[in-house]
Amino acid sequence: METHAFQAETQKLLGLMIHSLYSNKEVFLRELISNASDALDRRRFQALQNPALAAEGELAIELIADRAARTLTIADNGIGMSRADLIEHLGTIARSGTLEFLKRTNEGGEAAPDLIGQFGVGFYASFMVADEVEVVSRRAGEEAATRWISKGAGEYGLEDASRDAAGTTIRLHLKAVDSEAGIADFCDEWVLRQVVRKYSDFVAYPIRLTLIEPAKPAAEDATSEGSDASAAGPGELPTHRSIDAPLNSMKAIWTRPEGEVDAADFDAFYKHITRDPADPMLRVSTSIEGNFEARALLFVPARAPYDLYHRERRHNGVQLYVRRVFIMDECRELLPDWLRFVRGVVDAEDLSLNVSREMLQQDRQIQAIRKHLVKKVVDRLKKLLQDDREAYEKFWVEFGPVVKEGLLDYGEDRERIFDLVLAPSSADETKLVSLAEYVERMPAGQDAIYYLAGPKLDVLRRSPHLEAFREKGIEVLFFVDPVDEVWAGQGPGQYKDKPWKSVGHGEALLGDDDEKAKKKEELEKREADLSNLLQALRSAIQDDVKEVRLSGRLKASAACLVHEEGDLSPALEAMLRQAGQAIPERKPILELNPGHPVLERLSARFEADPADPRIAESARLLFGQAVLAEGGQLDDPSGFAELVNGLMAQTL
Ligand code: ADP
């Protein structure tokens, strides 16, 4: 036997498992059965391409409980593992979720063991219930088999072994029963039945049970449960009792009429395919009839997975079946990226069993199914928005930023995505508004959807840009997710025939046409009067702004920065620059409040002495505070502080 050390992370994880206070230790069986089921899926799939890899007998999972030896064995005739596979898969942690799990337990300290159920740490969960784990595996297509054995301490042993056929056998040397620690009698028929039914009923392969009962003195028979009284007598050999009917129902739940299935069974199915311990938030069950037929059973998880924004997400998309035969996991072609959090199963009637990922991209049927699924999911979410606002808001908090990624794609039906959008607004600090609600309560004469995008909600809420809108009673929507700056910056188009307008861009003149015309005239007139002052201010800060003009949007503040219609917002510009894009420098416009005393005093000062250095200083002060009010950063903060201090010294 050759010994190998576990990779450092694996050791850490094993330690956690062994000392776990986690009460739900029975989930180890779910993890092992899921692994077996995956291995069977892989074997079936590979055999489609290479018939030599097909199993001789029925693909199945076998449990063997040996009461006297106190072992539980889980065997499958799936794809199996070679020696190298064993080292790679059972000696190191491959899955990113597990590393994340470890990170969180490090942060979380004592309470952490509950996370085990949340992350589903797979094979290593065996060490919660076993002192020693022995794996014998043979890869399909190979002759050699290997034994892997470990007590869960720092190392594992490997040696050559033999196995009649390809597959994997995992034997657990069970710890003593300890109901307080959640270690039930995992050799007991009824315990096993119940755990399998609870977590693995939908596994598509039969899970069969064989019980090896110790021979017992006749007197004890009457009280010991699960033993076969007629078969065992004093001094006899242990009995083998195979239970014929599989422990699981194996029903393809999506083929059954929705009304005939318990909600709890749907939830259990969801947990089986996703390994998410929480119930899903939403279920969408649909069938497509007509030219091609397909059924789908989809779920929206209650919580966003930790890797929702990772490029190389492991768990993505839905499973594809063809006529009840599993084809592939994580079929991304069936849903757009902005619905990548949706999980579930799609079962198509007319696809070839040999369909490959490359073929899927062009397949017309897949495109048609995808279109149908998008519509169904969106409709279901819209219904949730109508029926249960609180639940919808939870959904939106979890997945809203992902949904809005759909707005970046001009090929998508934006109106449909906009129907799902919620946003904070200037009307109420505590509520989110849907766009439909916003449009509905727009006052007569308001002809655009006004919004402000930026990284921080409280900065937006206090933005000087809102002043005139507030006064007019016009609601402004706030968008604070990074993705918002991008879709808004691209030109968001229209919603319900209303154009989108950023309150930080272009000229802001509110009211009906007459009012606007009047205001414009007034502003132009005052601008003409003050043109020399505005010129002087501009030349003091000409590196920073492209224009200094009077504002129609300010009521209380003295100044603000605005951008030309169509310009990127400052936060988006910064983001794109950081991403390495060459963004041409675009300067903002400094707008001044014509009704503010500062402007009056400046104007008087300018009349008295156009060369007064305080004019240029004021320009820099006005510009600086406008930058800060936007949540922006000053190029020369200490220079700005000096100016402010100088001013304080004068006035105090
Ligand atoms: P996960 O199943 O999430 O990948 P595990 O730690 O449970 O994490 O398993 C690690 C890997 O070991 C699996 O991805 C798989 O490649 C391999 N494996 C585990 N159990 C089996 C099995 N019964 N048959 C074949 N391979 C298996």
- pLDDT, one tens digit per residue, over 189-208 is 999 999 998 778 878 899 99
Q: Angle of helix 513-529 relative to helix 531-540, nearest 10 degrees? A: 70
Q: Which atom from ligand 1 is nearest to the alpha carbon of 31? A: 7
Q: What 3-state DSSP class applies to 201? A: coil
Q: Report how far ligand 1's centroid is from the alpha carbon of 159 (Å).
A: 19
Contact in structure between 113 and 182 (CB atoms under 8 Å): no
User: What is the pTM (predicted TM-score) of this model?
Assistant: 0.68
- Protein residue with its CA nearest to atom 12 in ligand 1: 89
Closest CA to 489 of 372, 408, 399, 391: 408
Residues present in the chain in total: 652
Q: Angle of helix 263-274 relative to helix 189-200, nearest 10 degrees? A: 90
- pLDDT, one tens digit per residue, over 441-487 is 998 888 899 999 888 898 899 888 888 888 888 999 999 998 898 88
Using the structure block, give the residue that is written with the tokens 């006529």: 323
- Protein residue with its CA nearest to atom 18 in ligand 1: 35
- Protein residue with its CA nearest to atom 1 in ligand 1: 122
CA distance 212 to 138: 25
* pLDDT value of residue 32: 93
* pLDDT value of residue 85: 94
Using the structure block, give the residue that is written with the tokens 């009637």: 349
Q: What's CA 29's distance to the chain center, in Å?
A: 26
Q: Which two tokens stand for residue 286?
A: 């649909």
Q: Report how far ligand 1's centroid is from the alpha carbon of 20 (Å).
A: 21
* pLDDT value of residue 232: 46
List CB contacts of 28: < 8 A, sequence separation 6 or more: 125, 126, 128, 129
Q: Report how far ligand 1's centroid is from the alpha carbon of 391 (Å).
A: 35
Q: What 3-state DSSP class applies to 188? A: coil
Contact in structure between 605 and 615 (CB atoms under 8 Å): yes
Name the CATH architecture for the domain at 2-215+222-243.
2-Layer Sandwich (3.30)
Q: Report how far ligand 1's centroid is from the alpha carbon of 94 (Å).
A: 10
Q: Which two tokens stand for residue 164?
A: 């009649």
Q: Which two tokens stand for residue 158?
A: 């490997």
Name the CATH architecture for the domain at 513-651.
Up-down Bundle (1.20)
* pLDDT value of residue 256: 85
- pLDDT, one tens digit per residue, over 319-372 is 888 877 777 778 888 999 899 999 999 999 888 766 777 777 778 888 889 999
Q: Report how far ligand 1's centroid is from the alpha carbon of 241 (Å).
A: 29
* pLDDT value of residue 226: 47
* pLDDT value of residue 353: 67
Give the H/E segment covering residue 574.
Answer: helix 570-578
- Regions of the chain with pLDDT less than 70: 21-23, 94-102, 104-121, 216-235, 311-316, 353-354, 509, 511, 566, 569-572, 575
Q: Which two tokens stand for residue 382?
A: 């819209």
* pLDDT value of residue 21: 61
Q: What is the DSSP letter of 465?
A: G
* pLDDT value of residue 157: 96
- Protein residue with its CA nearest to atom 7 in ligand 1: 122
SS (H, E, C) 48-106: HHCHHHCCCCCCCEEEEEECCCCEEEEEECCCCCCHHHHHHHHHCCCCHHHHHHHHHHH
Q: Which atom from ligand 1 is nearest to the alpha carbon of 123? A: 7
- Please name the fold of domain 253-390: Ribosomal Protein S5; domain 2 (3.30.230)
Q: Which atom from ligand 1 is nearest to the alpha carbon of 93? A: 6
Q: Which atom from ligand 1 is nearest to the alpha carbon of 124? A: 6
Q: Pocket of ligand 1, candidates 30, 100, 123: which has the most ligand atoms within 8 Å of its Cβ, to mutate?
A: 123
Residues in contact with ligand 1 by the CB-under-6-Å rule are: 31, 35-36, 39, 76, 78-81, 89, 95, 122-123, 168
Q: Report how far ligand 1's centroid is from the alpha carbon of 125 (Å).
A: 12
Q: Report how far ligand 1's centroid is from the alpha carbon of 75 (Å).
A: 13
Q: Which atom from ligand 1 is nearest to the alpha carbon of 170? A: 23
Q: Report how far ligand 1's centroid is from the alpha carbon of 163 (Å).
A: 18
- Protein residue with its CA nearest to atom 14 in ligand 1: 89
Q: Report how far ligand 1's centroid is from the alpha carbon of 95 (Å).
A: 10
Q: Pocket of ligand 1, candidates 13, 38, 102, 139: which has the most ligand atoms within 8 Å of its Cβ, to mutate?
A: 38
Q: Report how far ligand 1's centroid is from the alpha carbon of 137 (Å).
A: 12
Cβ atoms within 10 Å of 5's Cβ, excluding its own: 11
Q: What's CA 204's distance to the chain center, in Å?
A: 27
Q: Report how far ligand 1's centroid is from the alpha carbon of 252 (Å).
A: 23
Q: Do domains 2-215+222-243 and 253-390 have the same CATH topology?
A: no
- Protein residue with its CA nearest to atom 16 in ligand 1: 89
Domain residue spans in the chain? 2-215+222-243, 253-390, 513-651
